[in-house]
C-alpha cells in the first residue's frame, strides 16, 4: 500500500491507492525477459508504485505469471488489478477466469477486477459474478475498462452498477477525447479513472513541444507526459517499464511539476477536444 508521502487516489470505498502504478501489457511474452520484468516490478514496489495492473489477455496469462513472480512474498504490499475478457464475462465464465488469474499470480485475491471491454454478455450477468466473487473474498472491488459515457450510464443504472470503482481508458496527450465528456461524467459520480498507454507506446515522445518542455525541466519527454497526467486529481496512471532505469524514470515523474507555460505549450501541440469524440482504444 502507498506510503504517506506517495501521491494517492481515493477509490469510492475510501481506500487510497497510488496515483502512479505499473502496467504489464507486453510483459510475459519472452521467457528470457521474465526475470528482468519481475525485477522491474519489484523495484517499482520498492519505490512506492505498489499499484500493479495486468490482465488475463496479456501474453495469454504470461503477464499475470510475471506479476506472480514479482509479488511472491510481498502480496500484502500490492494493490493488484486484473481484467476478465468480454468473451469470458458470463456469470460462470467470469468466476472461472478469476480463478485462473488467481492461480497464475499465486494469490487468493485480486484487489480490483475489471471487465476489459464491453462484449456480448449483458452487464447484469457480469456484475452478478463480480458480486459473488466479492462475497467469496476473491476480489475486493470491481470496475470496467474502455467504456464510453453511454456504456457507463447503462452500467450505473443497474442495481449493482453504482459500486463501480474505476474505468480504465486510453488517455494521454494525444488521446484527450475523454476530457470532453467521460472524465467530467466520472468525476460527478465519484468514479475514478485509470489511464493506460500514458505515453502512447512512445509515439508522442518526438514531439517538439514535448521535448522543449522536457529540456526546460531537465526531464525526459516521457516524464513530462506522465507528469501532465499525474497533475489531475482522481486519476491513476499505469506506465509499463521493463528495466530498472525505466522504472526509476517513471517514478521521478511524480516529482515534476508543470507550470502554466508548460501546460499552454502542450495544449497548443496537443489540443483539447472541442466536441464529443468516440472512445479510443489500443
Residues shown for the chain: 282
Kindly report the three-state secondary structure assignment for every residue of 11-31: CCCCCEEECECEECCCCCCCC
**281 domain-assigned:** no
User: What integer pLDDT is reported at residue 6 of this predicted model?
Assistant: 85
The residue segments making up the domain with residue 74 are 8-269
Given a cut of 50, whether residue 188 has pLDDT beyond it is: yes
Asked if the structure places residue 274 within a domain, the reply is no
Residue 3 predicted with pLDDT over 50: no
Separation in Å, CA 98 to CA 21, 41, 78, 104, 227: 21, 22, 18, 10, 33
* Residue 1 lies inside a defined structural domain of this protein: no
Residue 26 belongs to some domain of the structure: yes
pLDDT at 164 over 90: yes
Average pLDDT over residues 172-199: 97
Residue 29 has pLDDT above 90, yes or no: yes
Q: Which sequence positions are flagged as catalytic?
A: 58
- pTM for this predicted structure: 0.95
**Sign of the Cα pseudo-torsion (213, 218, 222, 226, in order):** negative
Average pLDDT over residues 15-44: 96
Report yes or no on 2 lying in a domain. no
Overall average pLDDT of the 143-169 stretch:
96
52 is a domain residue: yes
Distance CA 133, CA 124 (A): 14
In a domain, 90, yes or no: yes
pLDDT(14) > 70: yes
Give Cα separations from 111 to 22, 29, 176 (angstroms).
15, 24, 28
What is the per-residue pLDDT across 210-239, written as a single tens digit (0 to 9) for each?
Answer: 999 999 999 999 999 999 999 999 999 999
Q: How many domains does the chain have?
A: 1
Distance CA(94)–CA(86), nearest Å, equals 9
Q: What is the CATH number of the domain that holds 197?
A: 3.20.20.100
Tell which residue, 182, 113, 194, 189, has the closest CA to residue 150.
Answer: 182
pLDDT on residue 5 = 62
Across residues 123-148, what is the average pLDDT? Answer: 98
Coil/strand/helix, residue 199:
coil
User: Burial of 71 by CB count in 10 Å (0-12 exposed, 13-18 middle, 19+ buried)?
Assistant: buried
The span from the CA of 72 to the CA of 263, in Å, is: 41
Q: Is the pLDDT of residue 4 over 90?
A: no
Nine-digit cell at 105?
499470480
Mean pLDDT, all residues of the chain:
96
Our measurement of the distance from residue 35's CA atom to the centroid of its chain's CA atoms, rounded to an integer in Å, reads: 22
For 242-268, how does the pLDDT look when each residue is reduced to its tens digit (9 = 90+)? 899 999 999 999 999 999 999 999 999
Beta-carbon count within 10 A of 99 CB: 12
Amino acid at each position: 500500500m502507498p506510503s504517506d508521502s506517495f501521491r494517492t487516489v481515493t477509490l469510492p470505498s475510501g481506500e487510497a491507492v497510488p496515483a502512479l502504478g505499473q502496467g504489464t501489457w507486453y510483459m510475459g511474452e519472452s521467457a528470457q525477459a521474465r526475470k528482468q520484468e519481475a525485477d522491474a516490478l519489484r523495484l517499482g514496489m520498492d519505490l512506492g508504485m505498489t499499484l500493479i495492473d495486468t490482465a488475463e489477455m496479456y501474453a495469454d496469462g504470461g503477464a499475470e505469471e510475471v506479476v506472480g513472480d514479482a509479488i511472491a512474498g510481498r502480496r500484502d504490499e500490492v494493490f493488484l488489478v486484473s481484467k476478465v475478457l468480454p468473451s469470458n464475462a458470463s456469470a460462470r465464465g467470469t468466476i472461472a477466469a478469476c480463478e485462473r488469474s488467481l492461480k497464475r499470480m499465486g494469490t487468493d485475491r485480486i484487489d480490483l477486477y475489471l471487465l476489459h471491454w464491453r462484449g456480448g454478455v449483458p452487464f447484469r450477468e457480469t456484475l452478478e459474478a463480480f458480486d459473488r466473487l466479492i462475497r467469496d473474498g476473491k476480489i475486493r472491488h470491481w470496475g470496467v475498462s474502455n467504456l464510453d459515457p453511454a456504456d457507463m450510464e447503462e452500467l450505473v443504472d443497474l442495481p449493482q452498477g453504482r459500486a463501480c470503482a474505476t474505468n480504465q481508458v486510453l488517455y494521454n496527450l494525444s488521446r484527450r477525447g475523454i476530457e470532453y465528456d467521460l472524465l467530467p461524467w466520472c468525476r460527478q459520480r465519484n468514479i475514478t479513472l485509470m489511464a493506460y498507454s500514458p505515453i502512447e507506446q512512445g509515439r508522442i515522445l518526438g514531439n517538439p513541444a514535448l521535448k522543449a518542455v522536457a529540456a526546460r525541466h531537465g526531464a525526459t519527454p516521457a516524464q513530462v507526459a506522465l507528469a501532465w497526467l499525474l497533475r489531475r486529481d482522481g486519476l491513476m496512471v499505469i506506465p509499463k517499464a521493463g528495466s530498472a532505469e525505466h522504472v526509476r524514470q517513471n517514478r521521478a515523474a511524480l516529482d515534476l511539476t508543470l507550470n502554466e507555460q508548460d501546460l499552454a505549450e502542450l495544449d497548443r501541440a496537443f489540443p483539447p477536444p472541442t466536441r464529443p469524440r468516440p472512445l479510443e482504444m489500443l
